[in-house]
Structure 1
């Protein structure tokens, strides 16, 4: 069986999202949608309207016939019994669980969805738009407070929550995702424009996504002022109260501990080997050769979501594209759709 019907439905879904994005850009949104976005931002201040619409724009651009056909061409849908898949979504960035839900929809299975308390509205809203195109979605994808009567699980969370997920759901076929971070490789040939694009990879969604770049690998002798200059267009991020609080707190902690840092009033550069960073902090590390860098990355592979840069042998995403993955990209490199089709 092919996915012809599903491709038509998801393409129409994408058309509806495109219409909403156009209304947003023309400041012609309905009051109901404006109120929904305001409520989502009030519940989770990291979900600013700008970030919500950026996330929606991404999905509007992905869900078209060409992208869907290219993605689904390698899969074969078979007649199998319908399973109930438990989905636990994260709430770090808007619409972070939508890819999993689209995969469940394509697989022909049903989903019981427990959303993060940080995202009780947006994912439900997105699926309600899909249900306008295919009325069966309202029955096939249900939002619940507790996962019961499930046959498989896809759960996304922190390293701590992953241990909880493995304890309670390890007996089911599962995909359990833990913390991952993204890195960027800068070379001596990296241009100013490329560094400006890299700033988007660092600051979009306040750096809270697993595809957000938290660590820079720089060639020995690289002038750090080039980073500050290229990132300067993002200075307005400090106007966000939670981001500013994180920046102030981290700055004081490092200064009191007499740790050497560089900062420019809206983010902190800290030389450190760790991949994970607090909000407003970017780690960096120097490398002496591509061979050394390849060895480092290979040792950290299980902690890395994507690698931004122009070095084709090492990088997965170009500068500025970390938050704009192709629709056939899977978190942690695990093929979610194939997992579901094999249930």
Structure 2
């Protein structure tokens, strides 16, 4: 498949996501939509955090981004006839979190050797089956494996801090991108509107806060009224109906009570003061600051631990409220350009 046929195939997938969400079956058969409905039910049994709202949000993101205009921006500067085998070890914390890596490998003309997460396999099976039904040549562009026991030329792996240590050692002889744990934070100064805070809640609660782009901590002025956060969070109260989320909430609350630790709670989210960046599910850490300049220096010093910093332009290159889970295709995880990396594999 040449680059144009690859882009057209991905664009068709984008249209499919869009039409599925709109229940528009002008281009695609309604039978396929019903099969997707069944697969989504299967997904929910595989991973209780992958509920219908989150899957639809994931589909909507890709519907907006899988079009020819945006995909051409990812297109490499030169065409390589020398296809490589690129191992992709995918995470499973949020739906299709590894799809961007596959997208980059596919756009660059390489073959993806995919090790899926056990927490997110159904959606990938569905998507690859669709792509194969539209373009049989796609069969030569990917392979799904349970074990890495074949020749590879480079590695893209995402995991936690302990697994990435293993990846670094195991794949030491290969060109690689290894992604460790990262967290996202927000900076508030008290001048944010209620609309801003409601958008921030999306950054906090979407995907149950499980993504590296999910805000796990807020930095607030010393006199900040935390009731503003509770008030803004009301629209997300149904999250507590998810058994897995509720169990985490109940466990964390019990631990804090047993340890006589101070916290605030509104029945949905626990606010707790902490110096840590990453918070458990259902907990939002906060830290008070008295100097924005000192805070900027702290964030700069911890840049390798952060994915996004959200604010109303309080710091350079900050992400807008409500946009952490809507990165542009050219906004690469950990600020490592995956396409550039893949081009260097050819050298």
TM-score normalised by length of structure 2 = 0.93
Matches within 5 A, 1:102-181: 102-147=103-148, 148-181=150-183
Distance between the aligned counterparts of 1:152 and 1:70, measured in 2? 23
- State how far apart, in whole Å, the 1-side matches of 2:194 and 2:32 are: 37
2:246 maps to 1:244: yes
Report Cα offsets for 1:297-324 as digits up to 9, x if no partner.
0111010011112116434311011111
Cα distance, 1:63 vs. partner?
1.1
| Match status 1:93 vs 2:94 | yes
Conservation of the 8 A alpha-carbon contact between 2:43 and 2:50:
yes
The whole-number CA distance in structure 1 between the counterparts of 2:156 and 2:185 is 25
8 Å contact from structure 1 (residues 207, 214) kept in 2? yes
CA distance in 2: counterparts of 1:87 and 1:311, whole angstroms: 35
How big is each residue's C-alpha offset from its partner over 1:124-167, in whole Å with a ceiling of 9 and x where there is no partner?
A: 22233333443322221111111221111111110111011112
Structure 2 equivalent of residue 42 of structure 1: 45
Structure 2: segments with no counterpart, 5+ residues = none
Distance 1:310 1:71, change over 3 A: farther
How much does 1:80 deviate? 4.3
RMSD: 1.9
Residue 52 (str. 1) matches residue 58 (str. 2): no
Q: Secondary structure at the match of 2:136?
A: coil
Tell me if the contact between 1:128 and 1:138 (Cα under 8 Å) persists in the aligned partners: no
Structure 1 runs of 4+ aligned residues shifted over 4 Å read 2-5
Deviation at 1:5, TM superposition (A): 4.3
DSSP-derived class of the 2:23 partner: helix
Q: In structure 2, how many angstroms separate the alpha carbons of the residues matched to 1:260 and 1:70? A: 49
Match in the other structure for 1:81:
82
Q: 1:208 Cα shift?
A: 0.3
User: 8 Å contact 1:183–1:217 — kept in the other structure?
Assistant: yes
**Which of 184, 199, 202 does residue 200 from structure 1 map onto?**
202
Contact 1:124–1:143 (CA<8 Å) still a contact in 2?
Answer: no
Pair 1:52–1:86, CA change in 2 (3 A): same
